[in-house]
Amino acid sequence: MTRTIPVGVDLKQQLKEHAAQFRERMAAQGTLVVNLVSSPGAGKTLLLERTAIALGEQLSLAVLVGDLATDRDAERLAPYVAVRQLTTGGACHLEIPLVEAGFELLENQQPDILFIENVGNLVCPASHDLGEHLRVVLLSVTEGDDKPGKYPKMYRTSDALIISKIDLLPYVPFDVAFAEQDARTIQPDLRTLSVSAVTGAGVDDWCQLLMQAHEQLKHGSAASHVS
Amino acid sequence: MHEYSLVRSLLRQVETIVFDEGGGVVEEVRIEVGAFSGVEMTLLELAFADESSRQLGYRPRLKTTAVPLQVECERCKCRSVIEDFEFRCGECGNQQVIIVSGEDVRLMEIEIRELNNAS
């Protein structure tokens, strides 16, 4: 005899609840969680090095860095900031249980800002809430200005767009205004910045955004990221 | 390829629910797949075939229903279906819209053959 069991649940419900709890816990202790996402090689790690140098004396920072293999990014960041490598062993994205487990291993358990450097991938990480307060997507000028429309979920779920490697703009056909407009058809509230982590251009604006978001978090008015 | 991890999670949830319901052989799993869920239907079906064999030891049927991406306008409250990922109200053109459906993958029903009646 067959029968039908009615269910009606979101398959990611448990992960979403876990992420929401982590976000609340971090907000309660004054830690702003920033999830950095991009394609591979867009400059996330160098931006974090620059950020740690620029902000390290004003705010305490920590980084969880995700990759499929190696701890190369953690080695790069270790001279500047408390860091833990999250190695996914082939998985294309991070999930909240791995992030929380990594956080528990950090030397600095109460940073002002916890950065999560996600696995370089514009597809899968878009579908995973990591308990962040801010999701920031990097688009390097060498990738082309047509990328936002090609990866709509990533841009829809992001709070800010950093156009990176702008020191290379003279050498590549990349229209900053077009890329920003393309992204805003998907996410009209997206904040946009242009940065070169090599020359330092725009890094102050980025740090300003982070400090404002951290202040808002401390005063209970932080953006509560919703994927 | 997060379809595999999603299917593993789906099968774990199916197993738990069927166990709680007294057990049985899973004949069919019915899910809804949102157009903005980030899940590719063909890959999901392939992953289900692979993973169900591995995890359950047999292959139940998978019935998928596509759910369109629907938004509600914050100004006029009209609902529209978004097909080109340009997020704006289909009535008034306002860009301030919220997603009301089509973001998730949902387990809707499980059809089982009850063990005590299985011959």
Which chain B residues touch A5 with a CB distance below 8 Å? Answer: 17-18, 21, 109-112
Contact with chain B for residue A123, Cβ under 8 A: yes
B114–A153 CB contact, under 8 Å:
no
pLDDT of residue B2: 81
Query: CB–CB of A186 and B86 under 8 A?
Result: yes
Using the Cβ of B95 and the Cβ atoms of chain A, whether some distance falls under 8 Å is answered with: yes
The model's pLDDT over B56-96, given as tens digits with 9 standing for 90+, comes to: 999 999 999 999 999 999 999 999 999 988 899 999 999 99
pLDDT at B10: 95
Which chain B residues are Cβ-neighbours of A4 within 8 angstroms?
A: 109-112
Note the pTM of the prediction, 2 decimals. 0.91
| Per-residue pLDDT reduced to its tens digit, B19-47 | 999 999 999 999 999 999 989 899 999 99
Nearest chain A CA: its distance from B101 CA (Å): 12
Q: Which of A101, A128, A104, A99 is nearest to A116 (CA)?
A: A99
Parts of chain A with a pLDDT under 70: 221-227
Which residue is closest to B11 within chain A, CA to CA? A11
Helix (H) / strand (E) element for A89: namely none
**What is the pLDDT at residue B119?**
44
| Residue B119: closest C-alpha in chain A | A1
Poorest-confidence range of A71-75, B8-12, B115-119?
A: B115-119
- C-alpha A41/C-alpha A154 separation (Å) is 17
A3, A123, A188 ranked by CB distance to B112: nearest = A3
Q: Tell me whether residue A173 is exposed, middle or buried, using C-beta atoms within 10 angstroms of its C-beta: 0 to 12, 13 to 18, 19 or more.
A: exposed
pLDDT at B49 over 60: yes
The string of DSSP codes covering B46-104 is: HHHHHHHHHHHSS--EEEEEEE-EEEEETTT--EEEESSS----TTT--S-EEEEESS-
Q: Smallest Cα–Cα separation from A111: which of A221, A224, A214?
A: A214
Kindly tell me if the per-residue pLDDT of B113 is higher than 80.
yes
Phi, psi values for residue B26, rounded to 5° = -75, 120
- Test mutation, A7, A94, A158, chain B, max B CBs within 10 A: A7
Count CB-CB contacts under 10 A for residue A153.
20
**What pLDDT score was predicted for residue A83?**
94
The predicted pLDDT at position B1 comes to: 62
Chain B nearest CA to A152, separation (Å): 6
pLDDT of residue A163: 98
A124 touches chain B (CB under 8 A): yes
Query: What value of ipTM does the predicted structure carry?
Result: 0.90
